[in-house]
Chains A and B, each alone.
Chain A
Amino acid sequence: MDLDFSAEEEEFRREARAWLAAHVPARPLPSLETEEGFAAHRAWEGELAADRWSVVSWPEEYGGRGAGIVKWLLFEEEYYAAGAPGRVSQNGISLLAPTLLDHGTPEQRALLLPPMASGETIWAQAWSEPESGSDLASLRSTARRVRGGWVLNGQKTWSSRAAFADRAFGLFRSDPDTDRPHRGLTYLMFPLDAEGVTVRPIGRLDGKPAFAELFLDDVFVPDEDVIGEPGQGWRIAMSTTGDERGLTLRSPGRFLATADRLLRDWRAHGDPADTALRDRVADAVLGARAYQLFTWANASRLAAGSSGEASESGRSMGAESSLNKVFWSEYDIAVHETALDLLGTECGDWTEGYVFALAGPIYAGTNEIQRDIIAERLLGLPKGRR
Chain B
Amino acid sequence: MRFFLDDEQRAFARSLDGMLTAADVPGAARDWAAGEHASGLAVWRRLGEAGVFGLAAPEEYEGVGPLPVETAVAFVELGRHAVPGPAVETVAAVALLSRLAGLGVPEPPKRFLPALVGGRVSATLTLTGTRTNTGPLALDADTAGVLLAAGDGEVRLAPGQAGTRASLDPTRRLGRLLPGGELLASGEPADAAARRALDWAALATAAQCLGVGYALLDRTVAYVKGRTQFGVPVGSFQAVKHRLADVLVALEFARPLVFGAAVSLRDGNRAAARVDLAAAKVTAGDAAHHAARAALQLHGALGYTAEYDLSLWLLKARALRGAWGGAGMWRGRVVEGAGGS
Residues of A that sit less than 8 Å from B by CB = 1-5, 9, 70, 260, 263-264, 266-267, 275, 278-279, 281-283, 285-287, 289-291, 293-294, 296-297, 299-301, 303-304, 309-312, 323, 326-327, 368, 370-372, 374-376, 378-386
**Are B2 and A1 within 8 A (Cβ)?**
yes
CB-based closest 9 A-B pairs: A384-B236, A375-B241, A263-B340, A293-B256, A286-B279, A282-B331, A374-B245, A371-B245, A282-B334
Q: Which residues from chain B contact A323 at a C-beta distance below 8 Å?
A: 248-249, 252-253
**Are B4 and A297 within 8 A (Cβ)?**
yes
Q: Is B75 an interface residue (CB 8 A)?
A: no
We find that the number of chain B residues with CB closer than 8 angstroms to chain A is 55
**Are A1 and B5 within 8 A (Cβ)?**
yes
Query: How many Å lie between the Cα of A118 and that of B141 in the bound state?
Result: 68
Q: Which residues from chain A contact B49 at a C-beta distance below 8 Å?
A: none
Residue of B nearest to A309 (CB): B2
Residue of A nearest to B224 (CB): A381
Most interface-central of A260, A264, A381 (chain B CB within 10 A): A381
> What's the nearest-Cβ distance from chain B to residue A252, in Å?
11
> What's the nearest-Cβ distance from chain A to residue B326, in Å?
11
Query: How many Å lie between the Cα of A371 and that of B327 in the bound state?
Result: 27
**Are A285 and B253 within 8 A (Cβ)?**
no
> What's the nearest-Cβ distance from chain A to residue B81, in Å?
21
> What's the nearest-Cβ distance from chain B to residue A221, in Å?
38
From B16-24, B36-44, B57-65, B257-265, the one touching the partner chain is B257-265
Q: Which residues from chain A contact B312 at a C-beta distance below 8 Å?
A: none
Most interface-central of A266, A286, A309, A376 (chain B CB within 10 A): A286
Q: Mark B307-341, 1 if CB is under 8 A from A, else 0.
A: 00000000000000000000110011011001111
**Are A382 and B225 within 8 A (Cβ)?**
yes
Q: Is B7 an interface residue (CB 8 A)?
A: yes
> What's the nearest-Cβ distance from chain B to residue A232, in Å?
30
Most interface-central of A297, A375, A378 (chain B CB within 10 A): A375
Further contacts, 13 of them, CB under 8 A, given A290-B254, A383-B236: A2-B267, A260-B341, A286-B279, A289-B275, A291-B253, A294-B252, A294-B255, A372-B241, A372-B242, A375-B245, A379-B244, A384-B237, A384-B241
Query: How many Å lie between the Cα of A37 and that of B338 in the bound state?
Result: 34
**Are B328 and A279 within 8 A (Cβ)?**
yes
Query: How many Å lie between the Cα of A264 and that of B217 in the bound state?
Result: 37
Q: Is B182 an interface residue (CB 8 A)?
A: no
Q: Mark B180-224, 1 if CB is under 8 A from A, else 0.
A: 000000000000000000000000000000000000010001001
**Are A382 and B275 within 8 A (Cβ)?**
no
> What's the nearest-Cβ distance from chain B to residue A266, in Å?
7
> What's the nearest-Cβ distance from chain A to residue B212, in Å?
18
Q: Is B238 an interface residue (CB 8 A)?
A: yes
Most interface-central of B4, B5, B244, B283 (chain A CB within 10 A): B4
**Are B335 and A70 within 8 A (Cβ)?**
no
**Are B7 and A1 within 8 A (Cβ)?**
no
Query: How many Å lie between the Cα of A380 and that of B278 in the bound state?
Result: 33
Report B224-240 residues with CB < 8 Å from chain A CB. Answer: 224-225, 232-233, 235-238, 240
> What's the nearest-Cβ distance from chain B to residue A81, in Å?
10
**Are A3 and B263 within 8 A (Cβ)?**
yes
Q: Which residues from chain B contact A378 at a C-beta distance below 8 Å?
A: 245, 248
> What's the nearest-Cβ distance from chain A to residue B18, in Å?
19
Q: Which of A278, A296, A386 contacts B335 (CB 8 A)?
A: A278
**Are A5 and B1 within 8 A (Cβ)?**
yes
> What's the nearest-Cβ distance from chain B to residue A282, in Å?
4
Q: Mark B107-144, 1 if CB is under 8 A from A, else 0.
A: 00000000000000000000000000000000000000
Q: Which residues from chain B contact A263 at a C-beta distance below 8 Å?
A: 335, 338-340
**Are A286 and B283 within 8 A (Cβ)?**
yes
Q: Is B93 an interface residue (CB 8 A)?
A: no
> What's the nearest-Cβ distance from chain A to residue B226, in Å?
11
Knowing A278-B335, A294-B253, A374-B249 are in contact, say whether A381-B5 is a contact too (CB < 8 A). Answer: no
Residue of B nearest to A73 (CB): B1
Q: Is B69 an interface residue (CB 8 A)?
A: yes
Q: Is B9 an interface residue (CB 8 A)?
A: yes
**Are A278 and B332 within 8 A (Cβ)?**
yes
Q: Which of B217, B244, B260, B339 contacts A293 (CB 8 A)?
A: B260
**Are A289 and B1 within 8 A (Cβ)?**
no
Query: How many Å lie between the Cα of A153 and that of B139 in the bound state?
Result: 71
Most interface-central of A278, A370, A379, A385 (chain B CB within 10 A): A379
**Are A379 and B275 within 8 A (Cβ)?**
no
Knowing A1-B6, A281-B335 are in contact, say whether A376-B241 is a contact too (CB < 8 A). Answer: yes
Most interface-central of A293, A370, A378 (chain B CB within 10 A): A293
Knowing A279-B327, A282-B332 are in contact, say whether A290-B253 is a contact too (CB < 8 A). Answer: yes
Q: Which residues from chain B contact A9 at a C-beta distance below 8 Å?
A: 1
Query: How many Å lie between the Cα of A267 and that of B257 in the bound state?
Result: 24
Q: Which residues from chain B contact A309 at a C-beta distance below 8 Å?
A: 2
Q: Which of A283, A294, A304, A368 contacts B242 (CB 8 A)?
A: A368
Q: Which of A290, A327, A384 contacts B232 (CB 8 A)?
A: A384
Q: Which residues from chain A contact B248 at a C-beta distance below 8 Å?
A: 323, 374, 378-379
Residue of B nearest to A379 (CB): B221
Query: How many Å lie between the Cα of A287 and that of B275 in the bound state?
Result: 12
